[in-house]
Chains A and B, each alone.
Chain A
């Protein structure tokens, strides 16, 4: 073999080795978290290990449409995960535990199924005992029907209610508010001389006085980001996915393992007074926290903080009451 042939072979073989080897090496050294629509596998990997106090560097990419990434119960801005692009993100956890990360973009019908966990190991300086949710301490059956036998003829107004209310500290205590439905408060006001519409106005005022404009604004924001896709921007249960959910019915539930017996229901209509005025804040908190087992309503307990859930609950009642802020 002459020199030029030999050199040519060296060049060709080097080129081929580089063309195969270089991408493979870089590919194996870049661990990416891939986001796909839940039907196509969701997050991969969906379990991530981390240590308390150690920065966790994540590289996120989408394999199909625009997704978002956020970690539940953590004070962080969600980031967009774009198709074919890589989003870098560094997280630091100051408490051990199992955190839930989730998609924050309405990527498709099963958007809310796009969840994964970050297992943070290490020891915590001050371990906090988990608080028991109110629906458990009150022993509420959150799956039982909770209809209000009577409903107001017009939307109850907190402004009118404020003028009518007599000094009744019990009715305005946070514990009373959280553990009673508007209908119960309406009934408790039956000993007064107020007419029925006036009693509803007072109930509206009690509900308003147990929240703040900030809470309502925060609740509205959380609602718009997380709930409106199904429940609708105006709470009427007519979100962009509502029709698809109804159309896909049981079939969409069977796409996920172990969900064969589930039956998809239409998203609840928060503008329906019969249903809403019979529900106490504790009951709604329970439903949000735990999710509606088998109804398609996701569980949010691992994502929202307790305060966030109360803000959401307060906001949801605003579909029933007219507040003056």
Chain B
């Protein structure tokens, strides 16, 4: 399937090139984000009726995992409010291009941190505390505020968006899964970039600022680290940047060889399965252990959680591919073949989120009318009763998603196996086994 250049449409192109539509969205998002922090801190401690819990962990999560990531890749990052105050402070302006002389320290992030291991850790930290985080407005408020201030702090110390690129707990998996999305930002003609003087897309110019994601668009082959901020469209003097509609999972044809990304795939796969067990499963002891942060049961839970992600899942995977005789080192085969787990993990999250979101979506209407639990009825929906939605289609839909996940993963495995010239069978068998476990956990 050929790519469709969306930016050829003048309406789309102008909407992306102009700063105002994005700024308008930014302001709405930032206001909503700050409101969510406040709601978490001063609103009702009852999670199911607090704006922060309902809008962040139900509404936002639903949009992110069911729509934004699968269809728009890093589309959420394009409108995310978390880096904005820091970035505006860093540049000393909201719209205007920055001064030549940096206002703050503007350091380069040390090389040892220029990978997604910190993101892996920050995601795992939230994941281990998620039962409390997802249900306690106070904690959600504090975590949201902490992310905002961490982003501001990092912007004053390091150049560009260090928070988004290296620390954001959700940024890591959005990037990994954005490779499967049918949207990409790429250059049109490589030669133009090669001969381009000054590379304003990376270094900034009077038309705008250099790539906040520390990416040179001329070298883009994957979606992983492009935040879709559209700044390069504004700075490119040669009109050489395009946003394309493309087949799903186009980026996965060339497997990554990075261990941080390979482990991200295992982290996400494992967390989806553990979440399905803890949040949707019938095991009260497990729920209690996950919820009682700090108790000895919780420590056992945390150890098992980490063992599944870092030992059991990658361990069996390694055992499976051990016999795939090849000149390439095992590490490289491991990283490349784990690409098959990217579509699998994304679909696991979609399947898990379907039940989580459809069960709780009815809280959204009530929380919209009474976001702080102060007895308001802004839109007349405050008394909407809790009612799980689409319960009859849930199980078939989840099964369909998981079957699709398996097929998608198998095709990806075949392509990745071709690249490293080994058999794809062990990876497909592995996918089949974990998908069966996930199906059992969900149904």
B372 touches A8 (CB 8 A): no
Binding site for B on A (CB under 8 A): 1-2, 4-5, 8-9, 11-12, 15-16, 18-20, 23-24, 26-27, 30, 32, 59, 61-64, 83-86, 88
Q: Are B93 and A5 in contact (CB under 8 A)?
A: yes
If A8-B94, A86-B373 touch, whether A63 touches B34 (CB-CB below 8 Å) is: no
Q: Does A84 contact B95, Cβ atoms closer than 8 Å?
A: no
Contacts A5-B93, A5-B95, A8-B95; A30 near B375 (Cβ below 8 A):
yes
In angstroms, Cα B312 to Cα A291, docked, is 59
* Min CB–CB distance A18 → chain B (angstroms): 7
Inter-chain contact B30/A15, CB cutoff 8 Å: yes
A19–B38 touching, CB < 8 Å: yes
Given A5-B93, A8-B95, A84-B49, A23-B373 contact (CB < 8 Å): no
Whether B372 pairs with A19 at a CB distance below 8 angstroms is no
Among B31, B35, B94, B374, the residue within 8 A (CB) of A86 is B374
Total of A-B residue pairs, C-beta within 8 Å:
82
Kindly report which residue of chain A lies nearest to residue B363, judged by CB atoms. A84
Interchain CB contact under 8 A, B374 and A88:
no
* Chain B residues within an 8 Å CB radius of A5: 93-96
Is B27 interfacial (CB 8 A cutoff)?
A: yes
Q: Which residue of A lies closest to B29 (CB)?
A: A15
Residues of A within 8 A of B320 (CB): none
Select from chain B the residue with minimum beta-carbon distance to A87.
B375
B45–A9 CB distance below 8 A = no
Q: For the complex, is B233 an interface residue (Cβ under 8 Å from A)? A: no
Complex CA distance for A15 and B31, rounded to whole angstroms:
6
25 contacts between A and B (CB under 8 A): A2-B96, A8-B94, A11-B27, A12-B30, A12-B88, A16-B30, A16-B34, A18-B31, A19-B30, A19-B31, A19-B35, A24-B42, A26-B374, A26-B376, A27-B42, A30-B375, A61-B375, A63-B45, A64-B45, A83-B44, A83-B46, A84-B44, A84-B48, A86-B373, A88-B375
Q: Does B23 contact A (CB under 8 A)?
A: yes
Q: Is B50 an interface residue (CB 8 A)?
A: yes
> Which of A16, A59, A83, A84 has the most B CB atoms < 10 Å from its CB?
A84
Could you tell me the distance between the alpha carbons of A88 and B382 in the complex, rounded to whole angstroms?
Answer: 14
CA distance A32 to B373 in the complex (A): 10
Instruction: List chain A residues, Cβ under 8 A from B375.
Output: 30, 32, 59, 61, 85-86, 88
CB of A274, distance to nearest CB on chain B (Å): 42
B38 & A20 in contact (Cβ 8 Å cutoff): yes
What A residues does B30 contact at CB under 8 A? 12, 15-16, 19
Please, how many angstroms separate the alpha-carbon atoms of A325 and B370 in the complex?
Answer: 50
Measured CA separation A16–B81 after assembly (Å): 12
Interface residues of B in 46-105 (CB under 8 A from A): 46, 48-50, 88, 93-96
A86 vs B44: C-alpha distance in the bound complex, in angstroms? Answer: 10
How far apart are A75's CB and chain B's nearest CB, in angstroms? Answer: 25
| B interface secondary structure, majority | loop
Closest 5 CB pairs of A and B: A84-B49, A86-B375, A84-B46, A19-B34, A83-B46
* Structural contact, B42 and A23, CB atoms closer than 8 A: yes
Task: Given A2-B96, A4-B95, A19-B34, check contact A27 B27 (CB 8 Å).
Answer: no
Q: A27 touching B372 by the CB < 8 A rule?
A: yes
Extra contacts besides A12-B88, A23-B35, A88-B375 (18): CB < 8 Å: A5-B95, A12-B30, A15-B27, A15-B30, A16-B31, A18-B31, A19-B31, A19-B35, A23-B42, A23-B372, A26-B376, A61-B44, A61-B373, A62-B46, A84-B44, A84-B48, A84-B373, A85-B370
**Residues of chain A within 8 A of B93, CB atoms compared:** 5
Contact A8 B23 (CB under 8 A): yes
Question: Which A residues are in CB contact (< 8 Å) with B32?
Answer: 19
A32 CA to B46 CA, complexed, in Å: 14
Q: How far is the CB of A58 from chain B (nearest CB, A)?
A: 11
What's the Cα separation between A63 and B48 when bound, in Å? 11
> Contacts of A8 on B, CB cut-off 8 Å?
23, 94-95
Contact of B364 with A by CB under 8 A: no
In whole angstroms, how far apart are the Cα atoms of A26 and B88 in the complex? Answer: 29
CB distance from A292 to the nearest CB of B (A): 34
Q: Output the nearest chain A residue to B39 by Cβ-Cβ distance.
A: A23
Give complex CA distance A83, B48 in Å: 9
Is there an interface contact between A20 and B34, defined as CB atoms closer than 8 Å? yes
Whether B42 pairs with A85 at a CB distance below 8 angstroms is no
User: Which residues in window 370-407 of B have CB below 8 A to A?
Assistant: 370-376, 382
Kindly state the separation between the CA atoms of A16 and B373 in the bound complex, as whole angstroms: 21
- Give the distance in Å from the alpha carbon of A5 to the alpha carbon of B208 in the complex: 13
Cβ A26 vs Cβ B373 within 8 A: no
- The CA of A15 and the CA of B81, in the complex, are separated in Å by 13
Docked Cα-Cα span, A16 to B35, in Å, equals: 9
| Across-interface contacts of B50 in A (CB, < 8 A) | 84
Q: Contacts A61-B44, A84-B48; is A27 near B374 (CB within 8 Å)? A: yes
What is the chain A residue whose CB lies nearest that of B93?
A5
The reply to whether A9 and B94 form a contact with Cβ atoms under 8 Å apart is yes
What residues of A have a CB within 8 angstroms of the CB of B382 in the complex?
85
